[in-house]
Amino acid sequence: MNEEWGCLIGLGNPSIALQEETTTIGRVHQTCLKTQTRISSSHCVISHVNLPAYSVTNITDTSSNGTFLNCQRLNKNVETTLSSFDFVQFLDSTQKEVQRYIFYEKSAENSKFLKNYEFENYIGAGSFGVVYSALNKITKDLVAIKIISKSKAADSLELLRRESATMKTICHIHVVAFHQEVETETHFFIVMEYVPGVSLEKVFESKLSDLKLSDDQKILFLHDFFELMRDLHAKNIVHRDLKPENIKIEIVKQKYVTFKLMDFGFGKEAAELTTTLCGTPMYVAVEVYTNAMTQGSHPYNAKKVDVWSAGVIAYQLITGKHPFIKSGECVKDFFNRAKHSTFVESNEFKLLDDNFKELFKEMLCADPEKRPTFEQCLKLTVFGRKRECERNEKSPLKKCE
């Protein structure tokens, strides 16, 4: 029998060792899958080839009920590249017999780090890597581990190192805590506090009544959010990628409890933000677009970019709509409306309290010189309502040891 070169690490189900150049996985091939009737006899095939400088691993779905890679269903009988730490799933998440795994190509360096952790669940994936929840076997803490492929992030390695160094300096009640960073030959491992709750993006999308907040509750959240950004900017720390999916919020029975901001500086480069309206570009200030379209000839103030992004988030939270995006329009239409600070006409905006309108017009001013700081935003009339809870006068931001 050949030496084990990799494995599928089971998440709540048994792991599967990979030893051969070609491994067929299914009910008739692995004992641990024998009783799983929804798993096909031959569910998928994993092939592995060692080349002089690197190795190549592919996965091919051969099933009736689906093989998923990082939550995307694979086309049947089509070979797809498999990277170490990819999330592999047999059957969709609604199925009782769903089997979840982390594909891991063995590496002495990576194994030395990973031996201290027991993976629990898949959290999400981005352009550079994936995030899993895991139990620290030594401290028993539940953490989140962001695993970044250095080959996929080749053009952004210095950015990753610099932003990781920044994260180490931040200790704030509303910022996800940084635990550890390990860099090996092939990967970055960033260990962070595990944050329960849901992303603000999910709150926007949800139809569940328990996640609906009153305007007063929304103001409480926005006040906390803007205070955090004020504190960070006072330390010359900018986020640059503020968006709902980077904000985890805890809501209990329609009451805002707390939130955490995540993912400092691990977003896309500005030059990549000009081609589509999905994801990050929806929250990027007009001056970033202008800079990208002129090959970097229009430098911008990153703090004012954070204010714009937070303004878009606030607008969506209050109205349920994006301020500048109209269904069926292209990037050019969106940009033209944003650069003139012309909001999409909607009933939701017309019915807004004048204090909210003032907030949005200030934060989403196309001229960054006229755009307020977060300190100035907090002095606007909308935040003058009596708070429902006492606040500590001291900033919760402090220097990490």
Q: Helix, strand, or coil here: 221?
A: helix
31 pLDDT more than 90 = yes
Highest mean pLDDT among 10-14, 209-213, 324-328: 10-14
Q: Which residues does the annotation mark as catalytic?
A: 241
Q: Are 45 and 23 in contact (CB under 8 A)?
A: yes
φ and ψ at 329, to 5 degrees?
A: -90, 160
- Of all residues in the chain, the percent with pLDDT exceeding 70 is 90
Q: Helix, strand, or coil here: 395?
A: coil
Give the Cα separation of 126 and 52 in Å (integer).
Answer: 29
Q: Using 50, 70 and 90 to split pLDDT, how confident is the model at 269?
A: very low
Cα–Cα distance list, 126 to 86, 91, 147, 206, 241 (Å): 11, 22, 10, 22, 13
Q: What is the pLDDT of residue 142?
A: 97
Q: What is the pLDDT of residue 336?
A: 86
270 pLDDT more than 60 = no
Please give the average per-residue pLDDT across 263-285, as a whole number: 52
| 96-120 pLDDT, tens digit each | 999 999 999 998 889 999 999 999 9
Candidates 200, 183, 331; CA nearest to 263 is 200
Q: Looking at per-residue confidence, does 1 or 345 come out higher? A: 345
Q: Could you tell me the two tokens for 329?
A: 């329009």
Q: Could you tell me the two tokens for 218?
A: 């929304």
Candidates 157, 153, 181; CA nearest to 167 is 181
23-27, 131-135, 251-255: which has the minimum mean pLDDT? 251-255
| 377-390 pLDDT, tens digit each | 999 999 986 444 44
Q: Are 188 and 148 in contact (CB under 8 A)?
A: yes
- Terminal CA-CA length for the chain: 50
21-30, 295-304, 315-324, 348-357: which has the minimum mean pLDDT? 295-304
- Per DSSP (E only), the strands in 128-206 are 129-136, 142-149, 170-171, 178-183, 187-193, 198-199
Q: Using 50, 70 and 90 to split pLDDT, how confident is the model at 297?
A: low
391 pLDDT more than 80 = no
Give the Cα separation of 316 and 232 in Å (integer).
Answer: 23
Mean pLDDT taken over the chain: 86
362 pLDDT more than 90 = yes
Q: Could you tell me the two tokens for 222?
A: 């926005």
Please give the average per-residue pLDDT across 220-248, as a whole number: 92
Q: Are 144 and 116 in contact (CB under 8 A)?
A: no
Pairing of strands 255-261, 398-399: unpaired
Candidates 130, 166, 167; CA nearest to 148 is 130
- Per DSSP (E only), the strands in 22-140 are 22-25, 44-50, 55-61, 67-69, 72-73, 79-81, 87-90, 99-105, 117-125, 129-136
57-61, 104-108, 165-169, 170-174: which has the minimum mean pLDDT? 165-169
Q: Helix, strand, or coil here: 95?
A: coil
278 pLDDT more than 70 = no
* Residues facing residue 101 across a β-bridge: 10, 88
Q: What is the pLDDT of residue 333?
A: 82
Q: What is the pLDDT of residue 212?
A: 86
Q: What is the pLDDT of residue 387?
A: 46
Domains and CATH numbers, the chain: 1-106 (2.60.200.20), 107-194 (3.30.200.20), 198-390 (1.10.510.10)
Give the Cα separation of 252 and 250 in Å (integer).
Answer: 7
Residue showing tokens 């969106």: 334
21-25, 87-91, 238-242: which has the minimum mean pLDDT? 238-242
189-203, 261-275, 340-354: which has the minimum mean pLDDT? 261-275
Cα–Cα distance list, 40 to 65, 182, 247, 277, 296 (Å): 7, 38, 39, 39, 53
- The answer to whether 218 is a known ligand-binding residue is no
Give the Cα separation of 369 and 329 in Å (integer).
Answer: 28
77 pLDDT more than 90 = yes
Q: Could you tell me the two tokens for 130?
A: 């994936």
Q: Are 199 and 247 in contact (CB under 8 A)?
A: yes
Residue 250: its H or E element: strand 247-252
